[in-house]
Amino acid sequence: MTKPLFRGVCASTVTPFTSDGRPDLPRIGPHIDWIIADGAQALSPLGSSGEFAALDSGERRAVLEAAIDANAGRLPVVAGTHHCRTSEAVELSKHAERAGADALLIVPPYYMAPTPSQVMDHYRRIADAVSIPIVLYHNIPLTAVDLRTDHLVRLFEEGAIGGVKMSNSEPDRICSLLQATAGKLFVYAGIDTVAFEGLCHGAHGWISGIPSMVPGVARRVHDAIAASDLVTAREWWAKLAPLMRMQFSAYHSRGEGAHWFSVMKAALNFLGPPVGDPCPPVLPLEPEHCRHLAVILRDLGYRLEVPL
């Protein structure tokens, strides 16, 4: 692998859409500028927050190129090149490397629920086609695939992956991976509900909703933990907890509450250059949730660009 993986807070950048549902490429640059100015240390276009599943392969290539151009080399770029078909994931990954991505973020093949050995072969084939590191996006609820610690360690030892974004609500999944590889495998907290514990265990960074909405505050938590200042870290986490709980209210209740991605786009529209609404079937955040979100963001010290 020719490039090192990043450490710190990584923002999953979003994809703005036009009124007819196409990617609104000119709005990507201002969005990325704001994310960087607020304190992100890496960018991940076309993750779940980039709504990659709503885009065809040509649109994904265009969005990634626009994001890399807008970044202009300022931060490491971890490009999402997921696909349920191995050959297409290979082609998207090769394109991302040519376009200038520093690493790849790849979720296991979704819907068909392949066996662990089939999923592992999927990553091996992609790794054979590129020279930049792959971060395996471990996301059981949206893929029905659960690679165990021993599977992930084997892929790492083979050189097929360089990191794992662990989007699992069990903090010990992060701890287990770090211990099994003596911290050599880059492990990232991939869901905000376990970010504090994961970073305390020694996770190399944080890729999730909070770093994508309020990267500056996420960085304060990350940096305080890295400096072993748990008093400060707990103070900031207490301020972030209401946002985390609101963001995942529907996710954890399986339906009731605010949708995590509606919260993300609403927050970004409040705070920075407009990024528009989610792509249906996900809808804009409901007015009552918007009012609650506005209070949370103000309590975190942000000024709202769009008044309620």
Instruction: Residue 56: count other Cβ atoms within 10 Å of its Cβ.
Output: 8
Q: Is position 165 annotated as part of the catalytic site?
A: yes
Which positions ≥6 away from 250 have C-beta within 8 Å? 256, 257, 258, 259, 260
Distance CA(130)–CA(240), nearest Å, equals 38
Catalytic: which of 123, 137, 188, 251? 137
Distance CA(170)–CA(167), nearest Å, equals 9
Q: Is position 94 annotated as part of the catalytic site?
A: no
- The residue type of 197 is E
Can you tell me whether residue 227 is helix, strand or coil? coil
Distance CA(23)–CA(46), nearest Å, equals 12
Catalytic: which of 111, 123, 165, 184? 165
- The rounded Cα 155 to chain-centroid distance in angstroms is 21
Residues marked active site are found at 137, 165
